[in-house]
Amino acid sequence: MNAAEYERMFAAEERQWWYVGMRAISDALLNSVPGSARGRLLDAGCGTGNNLLHFGGRWRSVGVDLSEEALRFCRERGVSVAGASLLRLPFRDAAFDRVTSFDVLYHRWITDDGVAVAELARVLRPGGLLLVRVPALKLLWGAHDEAVHSRHRYTRGEVERLLRTAGLQVVRSSYANFFLFPLLAARRTIDRFTGRQGSDVQFLPPALEWAFGGLLRLEAGLVPYVSLPVGASVFALARKP
Q: Say whether 162 sits in a helix, a strand or coil.
A: helix
Q: How many whole angstroms separate alpha carbon 224 and alpha carbon 109?
A: 31
- Cα–Cα nearest to 71, from 107, 43, 105: 43
Provide block-wise average pLDDT over 10 residues at a time, the chain (241 residues): 76 92 96 81 95 91 94 94 96 97 92 96 97 94 76 95 98 97 87 70 89 97 97 97 96
Q: Domain 3-239 classified CATH 3.30.450.20? A: no
Burial of residue 125, with CB atoms counted within 10 A of its CB: 0-12 exposed, 13-18 middle, 19 or more buried: middle
pLDDT at 180: 96
The pTM of the whole model exceeds 0.85: yes
Contact call for residues 41 and 97 (beta carbons, < 8 A): yes
Please give the torsion angle defined by the CA atoms of residues 97, 103, 104 and 106, in that order, rounded to the nearest 10 degrees. 130
pLDDT at 124: 98
pLDDT at 85: 94
